[in-house]
Chain A
């Protein structure tokens, strides 16, 4: 069965966002979201059990909102897609159980899909079909990866990834250090607008001559986080005020500098002219500007979905599901597991 403009309902529950999205082909019809982020804030990070409990409570109300928003019924849907991994095991399982139950109840095919590939696919809802091959930079609180996308329906090739903290994790930790709320991305982005990025020089991880041979497309943000912590602590101990805006701006520039430099390097090394950004950190305003400036020099086109589509949501899962259905991919069997460490080479299970 091949449908060119399939109506697909996508369910996302890999972290702290419960998302249900509905798309028809590349057209976004609904993107309903419930977040447990406020429940995690006082812990400084996502607590898996808290997230799992929230998914169970939120999924059905979010499903109803998505169907209302799209103006469709379950009977109209051609297929159901769900994030099968990677992510928090217990959280993933709630969405997977919900999607399987829905597929059974409504007698629809189900597609268990890769969360990271969905972050790439979501851009098609905003900018149309993705030219292939493309390079994708996926940066969030849980992931920092550079990928080569030759055929999104078949699998993507990992070029590099973080060897320690994810980029978003570094934002969260530095935000906490500066007394900002969780998640740290938005407050750092805001503070950085009033800061001088050149006032402090923070290290760029894995950019030394040897690193560029052994870890050309890998990232490291742990050293940067420690450098910021040391700088701030020294300031505090010397009794001087901490220039929060300057620290935020210098830190943010250090992250964005490495991410964009390596992403552009990957495009040039692979001879690819399309760079797509995805993940929560792709919502960072500085990252978008820096990527566009640097890409323009080499004639590379940068595609960045709007912020609400960069962070986790159900529409991205529906977008990838729709892509798979249109490509004639086989549906998943009902016994597929939630795979917290699902490899990028697997797009659909």
Chain B
């Protein structure tokens, strides 16, 4: 089974074997570069397959981290997984990328990844299970809520970058573990669940502004004159 995640700067591709009671990592590649998902992912998928001597047509399923994450990079992983699904006729399953980081935490933990624009994608976990849904906010705006939840540990690149503001000493884990992604999809794989649409967790609307009213093309003097006379151009 192929696993991909491009919701963080760690461009991740892995091959896992899903047994009846355990999931085993066959091989994994993760290059950290937040601006080169499009260049790095395909060669890494190619490499993990080649190293394991696995042909694409031998794959039984594909699992993708559906974010949240910076849009452009996130889409690379989801598009790749979607064409593996379509091209090979195998099921695709989506896993929230934050859940993969959260699955490896204990007690009350914050997972925060970098959302750029001085914000984090975040969720709170209790003994590895999500306590809140994924959201995007400024670190300063969630610090109080974390106290309310009784959060004591934090993982993810966002937790590290904004440790001061969040007031929690970050743990070592920065990026999602592909084995955790696979484990979170393992039940669906074993049950041969139907393929899922890989819907990205964008959590933000596209930046787009509707155009304002037309700007005047004539100068104020020309505007007052226009009532009497048309500008040159009329024959």
Residues on A close to B: CB < 8 A?
A: 42-44, 47, 49-50, 52-53, 56, 59-60, 63-64, 74, 89-90, 93-94, 96-98, 100-107, 176-177, 198-202, 226-227, 229-235, 237-239, 333-338
Residues of chain A lying within 8 A (CB to CB) of residue B87: 74, 101-102, 105-106
Residues of chain A lying within 8 A (CB to CB) of residue B214: 176-177, 229
Q: Which residue of B lies closest to A231 (CB)?
A: B233
Interface residue B7 (Cβ < 8 Å from any Cβ of A): no
CB distance from A91 to the nearest CB of B (A): 10
Chain B 54-74 against A: per-residue CB contact (8 Å), 1 yes, 0 no?
011100000000000001100
Within 8 Å by CB of B235, from A42, A50, A200, A337, lies A200
* Cross-chain contact B42 with A234 (CB below 8 angstroms): no
CB distance from A339 to the nearest CB of B (A): 10
The total of interchain contacts (Cβ-Cβ below 8 angstroms) comes to 155
* Cross-chain contact B235 with A105 (CB below 8 angstroms): no
Residues of chain A lying within 8 A (CB to CB) of residue B43: 333-335
Residues of chain B lying within 8 A (CB to CB) of residue A229: 214, 217
Interface residue B226 (Cβ < 8 Å from any Cβ of A): yes
Interface residue B23 (Cβ < 8 Å from any Cβ of A): no
Alpha-carbon distance between A334 and B11 when the two chains are bound, in angstroms: 15
* Cross-chain contact A233 with B83 (CB below 8 angstroms): no
Interface residue B168 (Cβ < 8 Å from any Cβ of A): no
Alpha-carbon distance between A2 and B126 when the two chains are bound, in angstroms: 59
* Cross-chain contact A50 with B208 (CB below 8 angstroms): yes
Interface members, chain B 68-86 (any A CB < 8 Å): 71-72, 75-76, 78-86
Alpha-carbon distance between A90 and B39 when the two chains are bound, in angstroms: 13
Alpha-carbon distance between A38 and B214 when the two chains are bound, in angstroms: 21
* Cross-chain contact B56 with A42 (CB below 8 angstroms): no
Interface members, chain B 204-234 (any A CB < 8 Å): 206-211, 214, 216-218, 222-223, 226-231, 233-234
Interface residue B94 (Cβ < 8 Å from any Cβ of A): no
Within 8 Å by CB of B79, from A98, A106, A226, lies A98
Q: How many chain-B residues does the 8 Å CB contact rule pick out?
A: 52
Within 8 Å by CB of B80, from A49, A100, A226, A336, lies A100
Alpha-carbon distance between A230 and B233 when the two chains are bound, in angstroms: 10
Interface residue B127 (Cβ < 8 Å from any Cβ of A): no
Q: Which residue of A lies closest to B82 (CB)?
A: A60
The answer to whether residues A201 and B235 also contact, given A97-B38, A334-B43 and a CB cut-off of 8 A, is: yes
Residues of chain A lying within 8 A (CB to CB) of residue B82: 56, 59-60, 98, 101
CB distance from B63 to the nearest CB of A (A): 14
CB distance from A285 to the nearest CB of B (A): 24
Within 8 Å by CB of A47, from B206, B223, B235, lies B206
The answer to whether residues A235 and B230 also contact, given A44-B211, A105-B84 and a CB cut-off of 8 A, is: yes
Residues of chain A lying within 8 A (CB to CB) of residue B211: 43-44, 176
* Cross-chain contact B56 with A107 (CB below 8 angstroms): yes
* Cross-chain contact A201 with B80 (CB below 8 angstroms): no
Q: Which residue of A lies closest to B86 (CB)?
A: A60
Within 8 Å by CB of A96, from B38, B46, B235, lies B38
* Cross-chain contact A335 with B227 (CB below 8 angstroms): no
Within 8 Å by CB of B207, from A49, A63, A234, lies A49
The answer to whether residues A102 and B75 also contact, given A43-B211, A338-B38 and a CB cut-off of 8 A, is: no
